[in-house]
Amino acid sequence: MIKSWAFEFFFASREIEPIIQGAGANPSEEVCNEYASKIIPYFQDYVDLWASAEKLGFHGILMSEHHFGGGYSPSPNLLLPLIAERTKNIRIGVMGMVLPYHNAWRIVEEIGMLDILCGGRLEIGTSAGIPGEFKRIGLDPVEARARYDEALEILDAGIKNPVLTHHGKYWNFDELTLVPRPVQANPPVWTTVISVESARKAARRGSKIVTGFIPTEKVKEVFDAYNEEADKCGNPTGPDMCGLRRQVIFEIDEETAGKSEAFGEMFKSMIAKADDRMATSDRKALDSPGKHGYTIGKEEFIGGTPNQAADEIIEQCKESGAGHFQVVFSGDNTLQELAGNWELFGHYVIPKLNAA
C-alpha cells in the first residue's frame, strides 16, 4: 500500500488580492468590505475542499508554510483545527513548519494544543526553509540552518518531556513547563529533505522524511542513506518512513494534452530565479553549509490520464522505496479545476495506490 497525502499550497487569488493590495495604506471601509466579501468565501471554499479529502480516500492532508506573497499560508497551523472539525479520521499536519522563523519552545506548546484540537491526528512536519524567503528579511542561510538544528533539539525533547531545560546559542532556559501536552504518545514527526546529509540527520532523530524536486535516482540515494543510518541507530526503517512528493497535472483531453511538460518548463524557470540552490545549465547548485543544491528532474511533473499518473506514481515509489506519496496539484487556474483534480485522484488514483 502506498499512502496518499494531499499537499496544499493554498495559492493566493490573482483576482481578489489586487482589491486590497492596490488600495495602498489605510484602505477605505468600502475597499475592505469588498475584499471581505470575496476573500472570506474563498477561504471557506478551500476548507470545503480540504474536508473532502477524507471521503475521497486520502490518508492525510498537509499544509505548507510560505511567506511574502503567492499563498495564504504564513500561519498554516491555524487552518488545521478547521479541517479537523469537518473530518473524523484523516491525518492532518503541516509539511513543514519553518522553524528558523519561530520560537522553538513555543512551537512545542502549539503542537500540544493542535494535537488536542485535531483529536490526536496531528502530523508534525518541519522544514529548514527557503533561502529566497530568508533573504527578504535579512536572515543568513547559515544562521537559519543553525537555528533550525537547535530548534529541532528543543522540539524533539519538548515532545517527550513536559519540563524542559536547554542551553544553546539561540535559546537558554531552565525548567520550562510546556503545556498542554500532545495526546498521542508518539506523534509522527516528518522532515523535508533534499540531501543525503539531511536524510541521515533525520534518521538519527527517528523522524520520517519526505523529498521532492530531485530525480527518482537521487531520491533512492537519499532514502537508502536514511535507512542505513536509521538501522545503525536502531530506529524504524523502510517505506513507511519515506515519502515522495510530486506534482500531478492531469491530461485528459486535447485541451490539456502537453500541459505537464509546458508547466514543468515554466515551473523550473520560476524556481531557478527564486532559489539559488537549484542547478541550471549555466549555474552549479550551491552546496555550502546551510544550502543543499538540487536539480529538478523530469519525474517531478507527472502527467497523463489518472490511470497513467497512478502507474507512474507506483513506479517511482517502488523504485525509490517510498511508502507515502504527497500529491501537489499544479497548473490549475481556478478552484473548480483544482477540486476536479482532487476528485479524479480520489476516484482513480488512490484505489490503485492502495492496492500497490
Each residue's pLDDT tens digit, 30-45: 999 999 999 999 999 9
How many angstroms separate the CA atoms of 216 and 237, rounded?
A: 19
Mean pLDDT score across all residues of the chain: 92
Mean of pLDDT values over 16-40: 96
In this prediction, residue 278 carries a pLDDT of 52
* Of 255 and 143, the one with more pLDDT: 143
Q: Specify if 51 maps to a domain.
A: no
In this prediction, residue 287 carries a pLDDT of 36
Contact criterion met (CB below 8 Å) for 125 and 192: yes
How many structural domains is the chain composed of? 1
How many angstroms separate the CA atoms of 7 and 29, rounded?
A: 35
Q: Specify if 41 maps to a domain.
A: no
Strand pairing class (163-167; 122-127): unpaired
- Backbone φ and ψ for 190, nearest 5 degrees, come out as -125, 150
Tell me how far the alpha carbon of residue 75 is from its chain's centroid.
13
| Domain ranges, residue 286 | 233-356
How many angstroms separate the CA atoms of 10 and 66, rounded?
A: 10
Q: Specify if 286 maps to a domain.
A: yes
Q: Specify if 152 maps to a domain.
A: no
In this prediction, residue 272 carries a pLDDT of 63
Residue 58: closest CA among 66, 67, 49, 69: 49
In this prediction, residue 273 carries a pLDDT of 67
Per-residue cell: 194: 533534499
Mean of pLDDT values over 157-184: 98
pLDDT for 282 beyond 80: no
Gap between the terminal Cα atoms of the chain: 5
Q: Binning pLDDT at 50, 70 and 90, where does residue 286 land? A: very low
pLDDT for 292 beyond 70: no
Q: Specify if 174 maps to a domain.
A: no
Percent of the chain whose pLDDT exceeds 70: 93
Per-residue cell: 284: 552549479
Question: How many angstroms separate the Cα of 125 from the Cα of each of 14, 22, 36, 243?
Answer: 28, 35, 31, 12
In this prediction, residue 276 carries a pLDDT of 61
Tell me how far the alpha carbon of residue 49 is from its chain's centroid.
17
In this prediction, residue 61 carries a pLDDT of 98
239 residue type, one letter: P
Q: Specify if 53 maps to a domain.
A: no
Q: Specify if 239 maps to a domain.
A: yes
How many angstroms separate the CA atoms of 112 and 184, rounded?
A: 9
Look up residue 187 and give its DSSP letter: -
Place of cell 535579512: 138
pLDDT for 289 beyond 60: no
Q: Binning pLDDT at 50, 70 and 90, where does residue 270 land? A: low
Residue 126: closest CA among 152, 145, 150: 152
pLDDT for 342 beyond 60: yes
pLDDT tens for residues 215-251?
999 999 999 999 999 999 999 999 999 999 999 999 9
Sequence-ordered strand ranges (E) for the chain:
3-8, 60-63, 91-98, 122-127, 163-167, 172-177, 189-192, 208-212, 242-248, 301-302, 324-329
Mean of pLDDT values over 95-122: 97
Residues near 226 by Cβ (< 8 Å), separated by ≥ 6?
A: 193, 199, 200, 202, 203, 209, 237, 241, 242
Question: How many angstroms separate the Cα of 344 from the Cα of each of 1, 180, 347, 356?
Answer: 19, 40, 5, 18
pTM of the model: 0.91
Tell me how far the alpha carbon of residue 347 is from its chain's centroid.
23
3-state secondary structure of 98: strand
Of 176-180, 197-201, 262-266, the poorest mean pLDDT is in 262-266
The radius of gyration of the chain from alpha carbons, rounded to an integer in Å, stands at 20
Q: Binning pLDDT at 50, 70 and 90, where does residue 279 land? A: low
Strand pairing class (60-63; 122-127): unpaired
